[in-house]
Homo-oligomer: A and B are copies of this chain.
Amino acid sequence: MLQSICKKKERLIVGLMSGSSADGIDAALVKVSGSGKSTSIQTIAHDTLRFSGKIRELILKCSHPDTGRVDDICRLNSLLGELFAQAVIHIAKKADYELSQIDLIGSHGQTIHHLPSPEKISGVEVTSTLQIGEPSIIVERTGITTIADFRPRDMAAGGQGAPLVSYVDYLLFSHPEKSRVALNIGGIANITVLPAGSPAEEVLAMDTGPGNILLDQLIYMITGGKNRYDLDGKRASRGKVDQRILERLLEHPFLQKPPPKSTGREDFGEAYLHWIMEMGKGTEWDNLITTLAEFTVRTIVNSLEMFVFPYHEIDELIVSGGGVRNFYIWHRLEESLPQQRMLISDDFSIPSDAKEAVAFAILANETLMGHEGNLPRATGARHRVILGKIIPGKNI
């Protein structure tokens, strides 16, 4: 079983990602050659299929302890399985491939709950996470062998189940002579530190703080929902940094915490933005926007200066995520990091806004080939493990 897919020199793999913001499904069709450190990829097509308002509501309802009922979760698991299957069919069609030409699917699933801190239940200590979107349905509708549900295996080994993308950074970006940092500026910004020639065991990763999460929320709020982000960072480029507010923001306790560390909506969500807006009363919107963009820049630069540069001379930064298109952030990073060359992940065939979907295609390839896919210094796991669950398709 699985031998015919394993033996191929090149595999066509669809990666599927559906983030905790429950906006929609990111799908990427990737041509993957080799595996492990000899992996090379070419992204053939990618797209986002937005969820309808009704489905997004159902996901958020199922995610919350007060409203997440077992019968709704049971149904939503199947419903999302159907939608993930449709995303595969869509991306294949868009790229003009037949489903029968695709070898493998890697599906992250939709996180509806994540409890990485140990709790005692009936005398047994557990950590837990719940990703849904039934992969059996993806397999039935497409015929394609699917690997799904990557996080629980890392958590079983003592990890936080995140970040998993760091291993993909290691595979694609680490270099025998150049020391690099992979920087992803999504809602939250994170870095993967890749010293020249270091083995997987030594790769460090951490969240640095907010990426676009505060900026996007503010824009959404002040445009009454008309805009979802500051296009090209135009407003940020127009305003001026309010130093008083910025200094206060830089006092956030997360920023001083030593790695490994991760953060999210609980630290930099709506409550935090409201506190900022309270503090920034009377400040022009554009100035507040610029201040938040600068906050993102400074938390990234400070993390590098505190936790990375003292130990490694970094030659290059490879940047991905929506923040890449914010020119204010990009230029300020360039200014602040004169010693480093800044590259965009697109140069490595990873579209900066489809990085996670591409990453789960590559993680599926690693599991298929029997390779471990987590990094202990990124997730905190005790050791490396093969991630995911394999559901055999017609093409085994």
Q: Which residues of A are at the interface with B, using a C-beta cutoff of 8 A?
A: 1-3, 6, 52, 54-55, 58, 62-66, 68-71, 73-79, 81-83, 112-115, 119, 121-122, 124, 126-130, 134-137, 139-141, 148-149, 152-153, 155-157, 367-370, 385-386, 388-392, 396
Contacts and interface: CB of A to CB of B under 8 A. Distances in A.
Given A78-B155, A83-B124, A153-B391, 19 more contacts: A1-B370, A54-B122, A55-B122, A62-B70, A65-B69, A65-B70, A70-B113, A71-B113, A73-B113, A73-B130, A74-B112, A78-B128, A79-B122, A79-B126, A81-B156, A82-B124, A136-B149, A136-B156, A136-B389
A1 B322 CA distance: 37
A241 to B, nearest CB: 41
A136 B155 contact: yes
Please indicate which of the listed interface residues A63, A137, A388 has the most CB atoms of chain B within 10 Å of its own CB: A137
B65 A68 contact: no
Nearest to A155: B136
Contacts of A63: 70
Contacts of A55: 122
Contacts of A155: 78, 136
A388 B392 CA distance: 8
Given A70-B62, A74-B113, A392-B367, A152 B134 contact: yes
Contact of A139 (B58, B137, B153): B153
